[in-house]
A = this chain, B = another copy of it.
Amino acid sequence: MANLQTVSPDVRPGSGSSRAKDPRSPSATTTNTGRPAARYDEIRGLSESLCARLTPEDCVAQSMPDASPVKWHLAHTTWFFETFLLKEFVRGYKDFHPRFGFLFNSYYNGKGPRHARPARGVLTRPSLEEVLAYRAHVDAHVLDRLDRIGSTPDGGVDAESLRILEIGLHHEQQHQELILTDVKHLFSQNALAPAYRAPLAPTRSAPDSLGWKTIAEGVRSIGHSGLGFSFDNERPAHRVFLEPFRIADRLITNAEYREFIADGGYRRPELWLDLGWATVQREGWRAPLYWRGGDGDASEFTLAGERELCDAEPVAHVSFFEADAFARWAGARLPTEAEWEVACGAREVCGHFVDEGRLHPNVADPGRRRDVARDEAEGSVDDGLRQLFGDLWEWTSSSYDAYPGYRPDEGTLGEYNGKFMCDQHVLRGGSCASSRSHLRASYRNFFHAPDRWQFSGIRLAKESP
């Protein structure tokens, strides 16, 4: 039998990027607190590092219309800097290639026509090598621009270009997560079951039983304020009134989800939203996206290849429909995004992120649990709420609507978030494929109700008794 490349090499031969780093290497976990050029270099480098394990062939394929080829992600994020930063702020900058704007514009009507999204997989040219050259070209110009910031008196332009730079870096981090979810989806459809990373040992620890934290009613403020970066959809900070509620202290596990299945979860229409039940019927769902092995559901497909399904790990790759149905079955509900954000409070962003290279959600840490009944100060470091950041994005019950007073960013960048505020659902907290430095309590991610290919999981909430 042939010895195939079904486990990716850690380094792609001849990738040509001296900057490419394994995401598990120490520098990848450095907090991005340095000067802009260093942060730029580090974040851009991670994108290439994520591709170092992939072949050029892996990077060209598109497994479904919602996903994009890895190479396209690499080029699009570069087009973003070229279009919104270099062409706006660098006098005399010339396009790297006159057709790349057509090929790598994602959805910005303000930037002209573009290659059809579902057909990104036909772009075998430019080659990965050429895309890496495109990246190097744009990187050189961006770093040159950053070098000169402050050396001229034009503070206004400098501030604006630094703002765009920051958006571009967060945009890059979003696509880094998409690279991982899209590769996972791609590999999952191949009967060879290729692995993106080395095997992961099964986790044997068991989480403690689900606990609940109670939050009192009141007028609270959510949304982003202050100095740090935020996307326009997190603004403005504004007041909401919350009735009292309880929120679960960890994510739902595979074992708990298996009980739902065993109790007829996928066969009982009364547990589902109408659209969800129609989807279950049409798609033949009977387990989360990557569970395998028939009725036993003994294994799941992961970025580390096919792997035993571990009871204690949080259930991943469920749709909003499944999260909602599970909650109904459990006699609970999903939290609203405001509840989630208030519960999260001001705690530090810590958890399991892409930075540690596991690329799979981890078991909730039992050591950090406390008597949650006695501590109701939201967001305190020791209130027992675990897994809020990292591991899995958490579906909320909130539709993705505009905040009161919402204003999209000026110009074409205003197309970034606002035009998608329709028939999508908010997820909070980030995942094992997110960068730690990318996340905030006010961060609003959003996907469609049937989407399952993101690292998405379930946290329950309840009315307060």
Report which A residues bind B (CB closer than 8 A): 1-2, 4-6, 55-63, 71, 94-99, 102-103, 107, 109-110, 115, 119, 121-128, 130, 133-134, 137, 186-187, 189-192, 194, 217, 219, 238-243, 245, 269-270, 272-277, 320-321, 333, 336, 397-402, 404-405, 414-415, 419-423, 449, 463
Contacts and interface: CB of A to CB of B under 8 A. Distances in A.
A1 B1 CA distance: 46
6 contacts: A1-B95, A4-B127, A57-B71, A57-B125, A61-B61, A119-B189
A321 B242 CA distance: 30
Contact of A97 (B2, B95, B270): B2
A397 B127 CA distance: 43
B186 A57 contact: no
Among A57, A192, A400, A423, residue most surrounded by chain B Cβ atoms (within 10 Å): A57
A219 B191 contact: no
Given A191-B102, A243-B238, A402-B397, A4 B56 contact: no
Nearest to A98: B1
Nearest to A101: B191
Contacts of A397: 401-402
Contact of A422 (B97, B133, B273, B463): B273
A121 B192 contact: no
Contacts of A415: 270
Contacts of A134: 2
A103 to B, nearest CB: 6
Contacts of A191: 99, 102-103, 115
A127 B401 contact: no
A61 B449 contact: no
Contact of A125 (B102, B107, B194, B219): B194
A125 B3 CA distance: 12
Contacts of A241: 219, 239-241
Given A56-B57, A333-B402, 11 more contacts: A2-B126, A4-B97, A5-B125, A60-B60, A61-B121, A63-B122, A103-B191, A122-B190, A238-B243, A274-B420, A399-B400
Nearest to A272: B419
A435 to B, nearest CB: 25
Contacts of A127: 4-5, 55, 57
B5 A130 contact: yes
Contacts of A270: 109-110, 414-415
Contacts of A102: 191
